[in-house]
Amino acid sequence: MTSNGRNGKPKPFEGLRVTDLSWVGVGPTVAKYLGDHGAEVIRVESATRMEGLRRAGPFTNNEPHYDNSGYYANFNSSKLGITINLKTDKGKALLKRLVAVSDVVTESFTPGSLKKLGLDYEELRKVRPDLVMISMPLFGQTGPWAHYMGYGHVLQAASGFNHLTGWPDGEPIGTGIAYTDFLVPHVGALALVAALDYRRRTGQGQYIDFSQFEGAIHALGPAILEWTANGREAERLGNRDPEAAPHGAYRCKDGRYVVIACFTEQDWEGFRAAIGRPDWTDLERMRRKWSRLDEQKEIDRHIDFWCRERTAAQAFKAMRDHGVPSGIVKSPEEMHRDPQLRHRGHYAALEHPTMGVRTYDSPAFRLSKTPGGPTKAAPLLGEDTERVLKGTLGLSDDEFTELLVEGVLE
């Protein structure tokens, strides 16, 4: 079902309702994709066990508060927010009433947690037979690691990213962020859309056992293939690349860095012209890419000298003018005012009740017929509880007050 959305065009998931029980990064981002494209996503939380990301910075004005986390806000825009204490019998019954009028349930609890509460897929499908439900724990529902808990920092190590990140003579250092939290949701969203398409065609629901671990390793295909096909183990290379020379980040005279990567002979020809080294054509060791891979120290020495005489913008322009793959290393501030992102409308400005007007990431893709994007700032804790329970579930004022007094809505 569709109806008019932003720019007067329909949204693909208009009319779809999602009960979002997920935590932290991956699960909320998967549900956000649906919300950005028209679905009514109802984020279910509890004040008795606060969502971990609400306690994570950065906080607006450096003031820590569960309604003041920019991290949480960016992952939960386009959603309504309610609180239900699922440890109470009435809370469980209330959630089932919500699921009965929902199309999708998203969750990322440790396997077995919802079953203990009597809220697993087999129980929930009794109230909604065509329910589509996706579970997104770290390692899936089965196997020796199924009950291990952790976050993206743990997962990037377990899935092999840390092994490849760092310098050849140093220890694994990771990426500095929960890298897989920004990679895995794309795979989870695809699985969920596929299940929804199956339901559209057959009228039947489906349960998705999604492993963040398995979603992450798809990004390391070349390294895995190198081992399975050739028996060679990929190693940490710092800024090097096994098939490019030069390949690195170089400091310019203004203190900023420019990256340069030459993979093809055409790249190399443009690079030589850019830095003014036509004489390298006469050197046998510089003539072919595979021999140049052994000469990177000398190549880097010339680039360092060349960059010290130019700003990053000047170095980038010279490379670009000669068709050399290159780019300037940008800070978060520069990314926020990047002209390309502004032209594309990537950052959406939304008014948050406590944080004021802030920018939120939009989807990286634009659907020509059914465009989407963030429509509502992330909810305060329990912001829409009364609205959803009275409006969507039809609770009376007395019923709502009774649940509130009994602590069911904490």
Q: Which residues in the chain land under pLDDT 50?
A: 1-5
Contact 205, 132 (CB under 8 A): yes
How many whole angstroms separate alpha carbon 14 and alpha carbon 32?
13
C-alpha separations of 108 from 96, 151, 321 in Å: 18, 11, 48
What pLDDT is recorded for position 279? 78
In the chain, the amino acid numbered 256 is R
DSSP states of 51-81: -GGGG-SPBGGG---TT-BHHHHHHSTTEEE
Give this prediction's pTM.
Answer: 0.90
pLDDT at 1: 36
Residue (of 71, 84, 1) closest to 43 by Cα position: 84
Distances (CA, A) of 402 to 100, 240, 407: 22, 64, 9
Distances from the Cα of 112 to the Cαs of 108, 146, 318, 363, in angstroms? 11, 10, 58, 32
Report the pLDDT value the prediction gives residue 2, as an integer from 0 to 100.
Answer: 38
Cα–Cα dist 205/341, whole Å? 38
pLDDT tens-place string over residues 187-233: 999 999 999 999 999 999 999 999 999 999 988 988 898 899 999 99
Q: What angle do CA 205, 207, 211 make, to 5 degrees?
A: 150
**φ and ψ of 259, to 5 deg:** -105, 145
Helices 312-321 and 265-275 pack at an angle, to 10 degrees, of 130
